[in-house]
Structures are given as C-alpha cells and as structure tokens.
Structure 1
C-alpha cells in the first residue's frame, strides 16, 4: 500500500470495473469530439462576459501540474482573480462589471500545496474547504480508511495544521467542509448543527475566523433549505454547492442568506480543451436564478 501521487493512479482506481472503463473512454471521446467542434470558437470573446465564476478542485497531483498551470495562464489574460470572500461580496453587491474567477478546493489533500504554488504564481488565492478529522492523519492505514469510507479514493496524504497555517500566511483562506466528510442529507438537523458548531470551534482555534462552508458531494439533492438555514444560524456567512454554473448581476443587492454559490469542478489533469468546454457551457447557460436557492428546496 502506498500514497498515490498521480491522477493516473486515481483514474485506474475508479475504473475498477469494465463498465467504468467503457464509460470513461466514451466520455473522453465525446469531449474530444466536442473540443474539435469548438476549435474555431473565439474563447477570448466567450470569456469576456462579465460574471463571477467559482472554480474548485480536489487535488493537483504530479501529472496535473502542467495543465493546471496552463489553465491559470489562460484565465489570467482576461479575468480578475478574487478571493472566495471577495467573490461572494461581488455577487452580493449586484455589481458584476467584468469577468472574475475565484478558486476553492475541497477535502484537504496534501497535493493542494502544489495548487497553492501555482495560484500564487498568478496572483490568485483559494479557499481550502477541509474536514477537521482528516487534518494531520499520520499513517497510511488511517488515510486509507478515511479515503475508502469517505471520499472513494486510494490512500492520499492530507494537509496538517502547519500546512493550513502556511496557506493562510500565503494569503489563502480556510473553510469548513463538515467534520468527517459527512453526507449532510443523511444527518438529522441536530446532528448537522452539532457538526457545524464543532467544525467552526476546531478550525477557529487553529486558523482564526472561518466564515465559509461548502457542503460535501455538492449536488442539490445532497442538501436542503433547513440545512442551508442552519449554516447561517451557526455563524457562517456563506454556503457553497458543487453544482456547475456562473453568476451574473442585474443590479439587485442580495442578502448573504439568499445566495448559493455554484462552483465548476475542474480536474487539473483534464485536457485544456475539455476545461474550456465546461467553462464555456456554464457561461452560455448562466442566469440570474443561479444566484438563488434551487426551486427544489422547499
């Protein structure tokens, strides 16, 4: 048993079945065909659209560094990079005057230190959403258990408390992501409230103020209105999803507890053409409704 250090190892883990291998192959072929079709698209023009676009990662393994750097280089040409806090304030203000990008990362993997180096290179920062119970895991056996039961991965190294301090000193932010990567949809409201409070207490003790929360798994079906309200009740000032989309403005000022940031998931090892496609899709489908809670949350 060993800690994985490459995206290729993770992809091999996910492709354990023949069905999964076929699905992955078909997906790549489809994206290659789409990218070929989009080869004549003027992406500079597409990216000019005024918006706040939240992007998030989970890892930057050794074989993702080059393409993640290329993505940052591409985006830096036309976008202003904002911290997670400033990006949220920009949407709430109702004044989105040009294209903005904000980065975040979920789950607290050690390879995020490489992501931070690349972000720093381009004057960008990120909010690293972490699970306190995985911070500082000090054995491969414990890491393997957490990865297997919580995030469906082979063993990876996790950030420790010194790493978090280093990220803060570099100008990045730390956010909460539940104590143990729980699926909130499977918790009672009392359990979730205790979880939120414990997250804030533990992280604040080592990292200072923790205003931001992102729920695990990210889909609208993994959360609900009652859980969303609890996030603000327990002292957080934002709650982020993992649903794709970008944010535009019509001049309306939005309250903190009305806004649900959408975040586009990016895997650094993807081909740059694939990443550009997903960004383009979110830009083309953007709407004011993206700023608000989904209609399914009654």
Structure 2
C-alpha cells in the first residue's frame, strides 16, 4: 500500500507541477533561484539504485529543461555566483563518475538538443575495470569511459570537471589523503586534456560527507566551485564553494514532478 500511495503522490505532484509551470508561476520563483542537476548513468538496464535514467527519460528531462529554464554551462552559472549576479531561471546539467554511457548515449542526445553539460570524472575509474561498491551491491557492471572518449567530450565543447581520483568519501578522509584525491584528480585531468580544469564535485556529496577542511583544500587546489549532491537550488548569494545540485534519475516520475518541487519552493 505504501508503494501505491507513494506512486499516487508522485503522479499528483507531476500533474500539479505541469499546471503550475503552465501558468508560469515558475517565472516568479526563477527570479532568484537557479538549478544545477546531476545525472549518473543513461542506459536501458533497469536498476534499483536510482542512478540510471533511460535514454527516453533523459531526453524528456532535457526537453523540459530547455522549455522552462535557460540551460547554461556550469562555468557560466559559477561565474554569475562569483559576481553576485542573479542565477534566476538558469539550469546547468552535470554528470558524475565517468560511465561509458555518458559518452555513447547522453552526449549525443545533448548535442542533438544543443545543450551544454559538465562531466565530472573520477580519474582512476577511467580506462579501468573497477566495479565500485554501489554497482557491486546491485550486481551490475557498467563500463567506464577511456581517456580518448573523455578527450572527445572535451573536444565537442562539453566541460570536464574533477570528481576525485578514487571516489573517496571526503567526510571520512582528510589531510594529505584528501589533498591527493582532490588536487591529484585535477592534475590527472589537466595532463590528459591539456587544458585547465576548474570545476569540482564531491563524491557522494551529502552534507555529512563534506568536511570544511576539505572544502578549503578544494579552493587551495585552484577549483572555482565545489558541487554537492544533496539537493536544493541556488541564489545569487550562494557561495561557489557551497553549490547545491539536485540529483535526477528515477527519483522523479516525470520532469513535472521536479517542476512541482521547484515551483513549491521546496528546492
């Protein structure tokens, strides 16, 4: 019964979200709120961990973003925060970890729809056969990109950001080990891309997994932003070192459920 009620509740939220946005209530809210969304995988393999969006669902979200927001590169979003300018109505699309389907499936959809995105890469996952614990838990193996594919994304105009070297929980790891994860991932990417890397996203990214001392290390390493993953929106008063991202995948039954949360000022 709880599952059924939850499904009904989500459907009602989606319907209300469509109505609210269709009435352009969102325009009043967008005056001072902008979103950064995060995806992980885009493929046709059903999972129970909420990290996979089907290609159709991903495209549905992308079209929703284009219709109701001004989709910008993350660097543009961060620059507005640095300058204290409004990010109202802005939305930046990001991906975490470096899964192969980001290159094979998500990027072509983004290109076809002429949408920018940032891919945060866990550098030692690239060109490896590592199966992280969260994939082991669901009994699935998803391949990673290789460095040629990461470079190809960069050459296509997508932004590449750092996501540590080995996806350590930075709520538990500090000091020299944290510096190696944070700064080392930047060194790895800049060596492979031959370009400056200025964007960083925390692994896991919940509030208890972000040490203040490690946030300082991110700034010292030369990154312009620290992206979390615990949800919420951003305003012009948001520090680039405290950027909130909204996870998107199977958590939302439709883009309009996200629209409901945004219009109701819950994120």
- Compute the TM-score of the two structures, normalised by the length of structure 1: 0.76
- Aligned partner (choices 147, 153, 158) of residue 167 of structure 1: 153
State the partner residue of 2:220: 233
Measured at CA, do residues 112 and 172 of structure 1 come closer, stay the same or move farther in structure 2, by a change above 3 Å? Answer: same
Corresponding residue for 2:260? 280
How far has the Cα of 1:281 moved from its partner?
1.7
Following TM superposition, by how much is the alpha carbon of 1:151 offset from its aligned partner in structure 2, in angstroms?
A: 7.5
Q: Are the counterparts in 2 of residues 67 and 270 from structure 1 also a CA contact under 8 Å?
A: no
Q: What are the within-5 Å matches in structure 2 for residues 67-106 of structure 1?
A: 67-96=57-86, 98-106=88-96
Partner of 1:30: 9
Whether contact under 8 Å (2:123, 2:189) holds in the other structure is yes
Partners of 1:116 and 1:125 within 8 A in 2: no
The alignment yields a C-alpha RMSD, in angstroms, of 2.6
Shift of 1:229: 0.6
Q: Is the deviation greater in 214-223 or in 118-127?
A: 118-127
1:266 and 2:248 equivalent? Answer: yes
Q: Which residue of 2 aligns with 1:62?
A: 44
1:169-201 Cα shifts (integer Å, max 9, x gaps): 111111111111111112132210122222111
Q: 1:37 to 1:85 in 2, by over 3 A?
A: closer
CA contact (8 A) 2:199 2:223 kept: yes
Q: Which residue of 2 aligns with 1:220?
A: 207
2:68 is paired with a residue whose SS is coil
In structure 2, the CA distance between the partners of 1:37 and 1:269, relative to structure 1 (3 Å rule), is closer
Classify 1:266/1:214 alpha carbon distance in 2 versus 1 (closer, same or farther; 3 Å).
same
Which of these residues, 118, 121, 134, is aligned with residue 112 of structure 2? 121
**CA shift at 1:66, angstroms?**
1.3
Q: 1:88 to 1:39 in 2, by over 3 A?
A: closer
Unaligned runs of 5+ in 1: 1-21, 288-298
Report which structure shows greater RCO (CA 8 Å, sep ≥6): 2
* Structure 1: distance between partners of 2:87 and 2:169: 36
Contact 1:219 1:242 survives alignment (8 Å): yes
In the superposition, the TM-score normalised over structure 2's length comes to: 0.84
Between the aligned partners of 2:185 and 2:258, the Cα distance in structure 1 is 32
Structure showing greater Rg: 1
Distance 1:58 1:177 in 2: 12
